[in-house]
Structure 1
Amino acid sequence: MRYAVIPAAGRGKRFGAKKQFVEVNGKSIIEFTLRPFQESSLIDKIIVVAPEEFIPEMETRVEKFPKVESVIPGGCERQESVFNGLKCIQNRCSEVIVHDGVRPLIARKMINDLISAYQEYGVEGVITAVKPKDTIKVVGAPLEGSDFLVKETLNREKLVLVQTPQLFNFEVLLECHKKAAEEGFWGTDDASLLERYGYTVVAIKGNYRNIKITTPEDLEIFKVFLTQFEK
């Protein structure tokens, strides 16, 4: 059984609203996100993780997606929300895809590519990523305002910008989440937990349009990309 766990429990502090419920062209962001998973023959079931007080609203939003098995409460941090989703499907899942609820421009081809790479490489995790286009520098202590002292420039050829979806062996990801919770370790994504505990992760080509909506500017970019995505 292959599940998709969709963490959508963010509070929208930087955005100024619950991003997952913002509507564009009559559909909420979470509906755009769920559609490819619903339509993919490679996904069996979906778990959506939502803010506890907004579970009724989320349940209303996902009624049109029969693969959504349940909507469950999230935690204060994304990592807790994913962990909640994993615990919900113990003993029923062999592979799990984790995808941000506010990355609404995922295509079914990316799901296919992720699963193909997982089967081909035989590793514990496969993630999507793109090469950075900008020069990336390490900065030191902050100066006035938002200014920083520059310390060094990193080699872009050895860097990638990580996205979701990410696919994992279910038991491995659950084990890593349990260890991280016991140690009080917070990773920046689920793959970072596998890296910490010695498992192998492969990165495949993502898509520059697979943006995560974090700020109001991202929403405007999404609207532009959406006109091309739907053609």
Structure 2
Amino acid sequence: MTTLILLAGGIGKRANLGLPKQYYRIEEKMIIEYTLENVSKVGGIDRLILVSNPQFMDTALELAESFPKIETVTIGGKTRNESMYNGFKEVPPGETKVIVHDAVRPFTPRWVFEKIIDLLDEMDVVTTVNPITGNLIELDNGKVKRIHDRSRYAMGEAPTGYRYDALKKTLETALSRGILNEIPHDILLAMEAGFNVHVLHCNCFNLKITFREDVEIARTLIKVLEEQR
């Protein structure tokens, strides 16, 4: 069995839309609705836990009525890791696999989730990466210091998948060391807990809506996809 924790607790400050971007409407739906429609169609995902911005809990509860796979809605924390922890507390103890995903990634191909679920049969932690297509430049006081070999690096994406016990240990270790909100990403917490983090090379379009310009890109793509149906 696999549970997906959908993180929708952010405030969307960088997008400057006047509300958290996951609850911003593009055409007839909120961004989070497009994401929920996508992940709900992944056959290997048995249930969803929605972690919401506290000010939009009523909206999140309404979404739970429209998407049957949402079993629990809970409140987000002050950081991404804390929101993930709040979501994990709602995962049934007998669960096998847990996937963590961002509500502002509505276009992630469903095969990515399916592949991660399969890889978790053999691995404790698997995260999604994409290749870096531009030059990877190291800066020094506003000037170029050196250009690195980009083949040795990758762009971190989502989702990330965990075996249940691995995520449990990751979060317990972070709490015991007081670093849950001090380290910016959960895969670093997993490494702190002693796990190897394996990667799935997505090599695919996996837009994370972050800035206002991303909203317009998403709007255009949604129109194209609707026309193709």
TM-score by length of 1: 0.89
Q: Which amino acid aligns with 1:194?
A: A
Which runs of 5 or more structure 2 residues have no equivalent in the other structure? Answer: none
Structure 2 distance, partners of 1:187, 1:171, is 20
TM-fit CA distance, 1:183? 2.3
Which of 48, 57, 60 matches 2:62? Answer: 60
Which of 195, 213, 217 matches 1:217? Answer: 213
Which runs of 5 or more structure 1 residues have no equivalent in the other structure? Answer: 142-147
Q: How many residues align structurally?
A: 223
Structure 1 distance, partners of 2:135, 2:69, is 42
Structure 1 distance, partners of 2:163, 2:205, is 27
Structure 2 distance, partners of 1:87, 1:30, is 22
Structure 2 distance, partners of 1:74, 1:29, is 17
TM-fit CA distance, 1:90? 4.6
CA-to-partner distance for each residue in 1:86-133, whole Å, 9 max, x for gaps?
1121513211000001111122222112222333xx111111111100
1:73 to 2:69 alignment: no
TM-fit CA distance, 1:151? 2.9
TM-fit CA distance, 1:229? 4.5
User: Any residues of structure 2 matched to 1:115-134 within 5 Å, and which?
Assistant: 115-119=117-121, 122-134=122-134
Which of 34, 37, 47 matches 1:35? Answer: 37
Structure 1 distance, partners of 2:105, 2:201, is 16
Q: Does the residue aligned with 1:14 lie in a helix, a strand or coil? A: helix
Structure 1 distance, partners of 2:225, 2:183, is 31
Structure 1 distance, partners of 2:70, 2:12, is 23
CA-to-partner distance for each residue in 1:16-47, whole Å, 9 max, x for gaps?
22111111120111111111221222111100
In structure 2, the CA distance between the partners of 1:22 and 1:37, relative to structure 1 (3 Å rule), is: same
TM-fit CA distance, 1:188? 3.3
Structure 2 distance, partners of 1:60, 1:124, is 34
Counterpart for residue 201 of structure 1:
197
TM-score by length of 2: 0.90
Counterpart for residue 152 of structure 2:
158
User: Any residues of structure 2 matched to 1:103-182 within 5 Å, and which?
Assistant: 103-119=105-121, 122-141=122-141, 148-182=142-176
In structure 2, the CA distance between the partners of 1:48 and 1:207, relative to structure 1 (3 Å rule), is: farther
CA contact (8 A) 1:105 1:226 kept: no
Structure 1 stretch displaced more, 51-60 or 175-184: 175-184
Structure 1 distance, partners of 2:148, 2:172, is 33
Structure 1 distance, partners of 2:148, 2:175, is 31
Q: Which amino acid aligns with 1:88?
A: E
Structure 2 distance, partners of 1:194, 1:206, is 21
Counterpart for residue 7 of structure 2:
7
Q: Does the residue aligned with 2:13 lie in a helix, a strand or coil? A: coil
Structure 2 distance, partners of 1:229, 1:196, is 41
Counterpart for residue 47 of structure 1:
49
Counterpart for residue 90 of structure 2:
88
In structure 2, the CA distance between the partners of 1:55 and 1:92, relative to structure 1 (3 Å rule), is: farther
TM-fit CA distance, 1:70? 1.2
Q: Which amino acid aligns with 1:223?
A: R
TM-fit CA distance, 1:196? 2.3
Which of 186, 194, 198 matches 1:190? Answer: 186
TM-fit CA distance, 1:82? 0.2
